[in-house]
Structure 1
């Protein structure tokens, strides 16, 4: 599994791991019921603390992306299309908020932003 850690990022390492694993689940790189590397293996591979990887796996489990079977490991949860769609919507919402923020900083009015959005939607 290819995970890239940016040590100069302001985003915590466990969140970087979580986000990248979610992205791999959403795009189909990781399939349902596929086993994730053990906490120790991934920690060694990424040269980070096992506690950081454990925190990422726990967070993924809380969100329903991963299921952990004690003594066996962590696995990608059976595909929950609603959960995946909600995650995609959240990502799009975040990106749209960023675009709107940039438009406002650039001095565009609410009406100009709406017009641009509608123009793009027509294409």
Structure 2
């Protein structure tokens, strides 16, 4: 499992880990039931605190991406299609928010932006 940590920037390390593991699960690179490295092993590999990896794993479990089996470790949880859809919607909202800011700054009207979005969306289906 390749996780890249950037010490510069505003994103906390535990959040970087959480985002990257979510991405691996959503892409299918980490499959249902697959074991993740122990918190200690991941912390050692990334040269970070075990507390940081613990926080990331707890967040992933809270969000339904991981399950913990006492004495055995953490495993990728069964895929919840609603969870996958919700994550996709959240990511789309982030990108659309950035697009709205660019449009406002550039003097693009809501109607023009909606037309562009419609063209792009329908073009993807075709």
Q: TM-score range by the shorter chain?
A: over 0.9
Deviation per CA, 1:75-103: give whole Å up to 9, x if none.
00011112112111211121111111111
Query: Counterpart of 2:114?
Result: 114
Residues 1:62 and 2:62 aligned together: yes
Query: Counterpart of 2:10?
Result: 10
Measured in 1, the distance between the counterparts of 2:49 and 2:78 equals: 28
Structure 1, 9-18 or 107-116: larger mean CA deviation: 107-116
Query: Counterpart of 1:51?
Result: 51
Measured in 2, the distance between the counterparts of 1:37 and 1:122 equals: 41
Tell me how large the CA RMSD over aligned residues is: 1.1
TM-score computed with the length of structure 1 as normaliser:
0.94
Q: Which runs of 5+ in 2 are unaligned?
A: none
Runs ≥4 in structure 1, deviation > 3 angstroms?
Answer: none
Shift of 1:122: 4.0
Measured in 2, the distance between the counterparts of 1:120 and 1:34 equals: 36
Q: Which runs of 5+ in 1 are unaligned?
A: none
